[in-house]
Chains A and B, each alone.
Chain A
Amino acid sequence: MILVLIISLSNQWIWRIAQLNFNLFLFLLVISLVLYKSLESRKYYLALIILVGLSLFFQWRFTNFESLNLLSNDEQRVQTLRLKFYNPEDHYTRVIFYRLNLKNFLEGNFTIVTTRILKNFFETIDPNVYFFAGHPRERVGIPEFEKFPYIFALPFMIGFFNLIGSKKILFFINFLFCILLLSIIGHKSSIGAFILFPFFVVAITCGIKLIFKGVHA
């Protein structure tokens, strides 16, 4: 428990959150502790589900939601230009595209929406965003900062894979729910995808414990 608290407080992320909203800071500390306890005992399952549900709500409130299908002027220009590239006179395969209306499928709403959801999803699961402030591929229009010190990257991965391996289903399901929400609403927020904070803290704690166990053995 002490290790969970130490890791929770020894990073830039939580102090940024504290600066913005002290209640959220306390809430995330509590949820980190409950998440950690839930790995040991089923008693905490209900509390965890309620807390994660609440954190999902807070994340939604603190995020500038971006439309999944509205196009900016420049995106509309590119779309119009791209549709011209499917001219059936250019190549015989384009005739098939024309007949099956595939160009509208490829350049239309389906592609736009899936691309944006995928963009949000992959940005959410990018480890560089959390340990290296997005470096070397910083995101445009998003305030990047190093959420955890980079020396925590290895314990995080060890801990995370171990948690999946030891079939901590509730941890995994909650984590997936958070990712799912972030994939839809994005994470355009000055404090990032903070609903993942407890999962990171717990995975890092487990990783550090495993490393020490390994060294000791």
Chain B
Amino acid sequence: MLKIYKLFIFLLIILTGSYLRLVNLETNPSGLYVDEASTGVNAWSILQTGKDEYGKVFPSAFRFFGSYTPPLYTYTTSLVMYFNGLSIASIRLVSALSGILMIVIFFHLLKSLNIFSVKTIFLSLFLFVITPWAIFYSRIGYEINLAFLFYSTGILFLWLSLKKSIYLILAFIFLALSSNTYHSEKLLVPITIILFLIIFRKVLFKKENIKILILSFFLYLIILIPQILIFFTPANTVRGVGLFYSSAIVNQANQSFLPFIFSIPLSFMSEFFSQYLSYFSPRNLFFQGDSDLQRGFPELSVFYWWMVIFYFVGLFKLFNKINNTSSKFILLIFFLTPIPAALTGDPFSTQRALPLLLPVMLIISLGIETILKWKFKTSLLIILILSALSLLYLYRSMAVLLPNERARVWGYGFRQLAAEMKKRPVEKFLIDTSRIKPAYIELAFYLKIPPEKLQFTVDPELKNRYYQDTKWNDHYVLDPFETRTINWEEDIYKDQILVGDELAVSEGQAREHFLINIFEIKSPSGEIIFKGYKTDPAKKCSTDYVKSKC
């Protein structure tokens, strides 16, 4: 009876989690973010032709806009598209399914740690299911959540390997897979493995485990071959170097009175530790969230504010029992997971630090366990009331504010722009890219431009220096549009439609060059996203005749 009861609660939690991760996946977040669009277009291209948008056959890292993203998410999305076709839901589905599977992994981790009661396990699992950080990244169509699932699965098996060393093989396999999915894990996984082996060396380096260790390491290297092959190419280094705060360090060092040999390491330490500490700061974890509007729910942080109490209690408990194996293990992942993110200049990047969700949630669970032990009924009642209130605020943020207020940052408007293009099949469109993120990929998605056509527009030599040539050019000429900045000396003399945001064409420019506003695309909250102006070369030439252009 008790077993059925537990199973029922578990299924109920899974159902709640699945609902929160899958509901309105196609339409919320409204629009399609450029990273999602490039994943979708490339996954579709791989499915149709076996090549990416640049014509490269099954790449080890996708070039996208020069980011060289590890490939696993795009390949798995191709599989989804085989069944479901090219759609926004198809792009986001792998993330959503990863989020659902993550609930199961978290449940097993809670159970296997052997420090939580059954009540705490279910309560913590429920809180994990409704945590904004876990929900948000389950609803976006790029690699972060899949990498998190693989990393967490690897972590679960690492923990299990302390009791049964055979699990090391599975741990190394999943950790290697996560390195093939997202940049952060490429750095995080090796340091996790090294420190895990050092801290738990007495258990792991027994004679009977050596064979398993060697086999695990061998499998790890085999799975990493795609990454190893491009390890010394610019494709591997460009992303890390680009995001590192080297200029901030040099600036700080220049202001110091110490010689460079001392000031550079000191400046690095100051910058690194400020970034690193910010990932543990309650202000960021429980109140403010990510500074990038695209990377979070409006008015919600990554955890609910009241969880801060359990965070502190859990931390306190953890440090008090620092000699326990489970405490050491949780602290290890707690201190390691923000390192890759702390090496980049973005303040509190929830995307790069997603693996931190796992140890913080375990610490919160430990806090819950402690408080439930102290006063069970009162604490449970308070937690349930706060959870209900949080769900109300989650609804406000996820269903009301996100699709309305964040539409612009999520690429809203390209669907409508594509519809305008379809309405005018003979017209040529020039998309001004001064402030608009890569427009060609969004339009390629919505207009369903055949992959071969997209591959044809780029320099055919590019696929030969795919991992060397990291510079990306936003000039695309595709039927029926071209993407680049407007050239005011040339483009007004051509018969076309100029498209840009509200700042692209001023009223004065429209009057001066006889541009006719033919459409406006607005976000759900009423902001203008695109304006389309039809040029009138005949009229322009009649008043301002330039021989070479008229």
**B275–A119 contact, CB under 8 A?**
no
Q: How far is the CA of A164 from the CA of B291 in the complex (A)?
A: 32
Shortest CB distance B283–A (Å):
4
Q: Is the interface of B mostly helix, strand, loop or mixed?
A: helix
Interface status of B305 (Cβ within 8 A of chain A): yes
**A122–B316 contact, CB under 8 A?**
no
**A118–B525 contact, CB under 8 A?**
no
Which of A86, A119, A125: most chain B CB closer than 10 A? A125
Interface status of A62 (Cβ within 8 A of chain B): no
Given contacts A122-B283, A122-B288, A153-B273, contact A165 B396 (CB under 8 A): no
Interface status of A42 (Cβ within 8 A of chain B): no
Which of B278, B280, B299, B396 is the one whose CB lies under 8 Å from A136? Answer: B278
**B283–A125 contact, CB under 8 A?**
yes
**B274–A102 contact, CB under 8 A?**
no
Shortest CB distance B307–A (Å):
12
Given contacts A85-B401, A150-B273, A161-B316, contact A106 B283 (CB under 8 A): no
Given contacts A118-B287, A137-B291, A137-B348, contact A86 B316 (CB under 8 A): no
**B287–A128 contact, CB under 8 A?**
no
Smallest Cβ-Cβ distance to A131: which chain B residue: B277
Shortest CB distance A122–B (Å):
4
Which of A126, A128, A161: most chain B CB closer than 10 A? A128
**B347–A136 contact, CB under 8 A?**
yes
Residues from 277 to 321 in B contacting A, C-beta threshold 8 Å: 277-278, 280-284, 286-288, 291, 299, 305, 308, 315-316, 319-320
**A137–B396 contact, CB under 8 A?**
no
Interface status of A82 (Cβ within 8 A of chain B): yes
Query: Contact mask A117-132 → B, CB, 8 Å, 1/0?
Result: 0110111011110011
Given contacts A86-B400, A93-B395, A106-B396, contact A132 B283 (CB under 8 A): no
Interface status of B270 (Cβ within 8 A of chain A): yes
Counting contact residues on chain B (CB < 8 A from A), the size range is: 35 or more
Interface status of B393 (Cβ within 8 A of chain A): yes
Which of A119, A122, A126, A135: most chain B CB closer than 10 A? A122
Which of B283, B320, B392: most chain A CB closer than 10 A? B283
Which of B274, B305, B393 is the one whose CB lies under 8 Å from A132? Answer: B274
Q: How far is the CA of A119 from the CA of B282 in the complex (A)?
A: 11
Which of B288, B345, B395 is the one whose CB lies under 8 Å from A137? Answer: B288
Smallest Cβ-Cβ distance to A162: which chain B residue: B319
Q: How far is the CA of A131 from the CA of B283 in the complex (A)?
A: 14
Shortest CB distance A100–B (Å):
10
Interface status of B230 (Cβ within 8 A of chain A): no
**Residues from chain A with Cβ under 8 Å of B291 in the complex:** 137
Q: How far is the CA of A132 from the CA of B284 in the complex (A)?
A: 15
Q: How far is the CA of A164 from the CA of B319 in the complex (A)?
A: 12
Given contacts A85-B404, A125-B283, A165-B320, contact A150 B393 (CB under 8 A): no
Interface status of A216 (Cβ within 8 A of chain B): no
Shortest CB distance B288–A (Å):
7
Given contacts A106-B393, A128-B277, A150-B274, contact A137 B284 (CB under 8 A): yes
Interface status of B399 (Cβ within 8 A of chain A): yes
Interface status of A2 (Cβ within 8 A of chain B): no
Shortest CB distance A178–B (Å):
16
**Residues from chain B with Cβ under 8 Å of A150 in the complex:** 269-270, 273-274
Q: How far is the CA of A165 from the CA of B347 in the complex (A)?
A: 32
Q: How far is the CA of A115 from the CA of B525 in the complex (A)?
A: 23
Smallest Cβ-Cβ distance to A126: which chain B residue: B283
**Residues from chain A with Cβ under 8 Å of B316 in the complex:** 161, 164-165
**Residues from chain A with Cβ under 8 Å of B269 in the complex:** 150
Smallest Cβ-Cβ distance to A137: which chain B residue: B347
**Residues from chain A with Cβ under 8 Å of B283 in the complex:** 122-123, 125-126, 128, 137
Residues from 166 to 197 in A contacting B, C-beta threshold 8 Å: none
Query: Contact mask A69-108 → B, CB, 8 Å, 1/0?
Result: 0000000000001100110000101000000001000100
**A136–B281 contact, CB under 8 A?**
no
Which of A115, A121, A123, A128 is the one whose CB lies under 8 Å from B274? Answer: A128
Residues from 334 to 389 in B contacting A, C-beta threshold 8 Å: 345, 347-348
Shortest CB distance A116–B (Å):
11
Query: Contact mask A140-160 → B, CB, 8 Å, 1/0?
Result: 000000000010010000000
Question: Residues of B with Cβ closer than 8 Å to A?
Answer: 269-270, 273-275, 277-278, 280-284, 286-288, 291, 299, 305, 308, 315-316, 319-320, 345, 347-348, 392-393, 395-396, 399-401, 404-405, 524-526
Q: A82-B405, A128-B278 are in contact. List 14 more A-B contacts (CB 8 A).
A: A85-B400, A85-B404, A106-B396, A119-B287, A122-B305, A127-B280, A127-B281, A128-B277, A132-B270, A132-B273, A136-B274, A136-B345, A137-B278, A164-B316
Question: Residues of A with Cβ closer than 8 Å to B?
Answer: 81-82, 85-86, 91, 93, 102, 106, 115, 118-119, 121-123, 125-128, 131-132, 135-137, 150, 153, 161, 164-165
Q: What are 15 of the A-B contact pairs (CB < 8 Å)? A: A81-B526, A85-B401, A86-B400, A115-B299, A122-B305, A125-B283, A126-B282, A128-B274, A131-B274, A132-B270, A132-B274, A132-B277, A136-B348, A137-B284, A165-B316
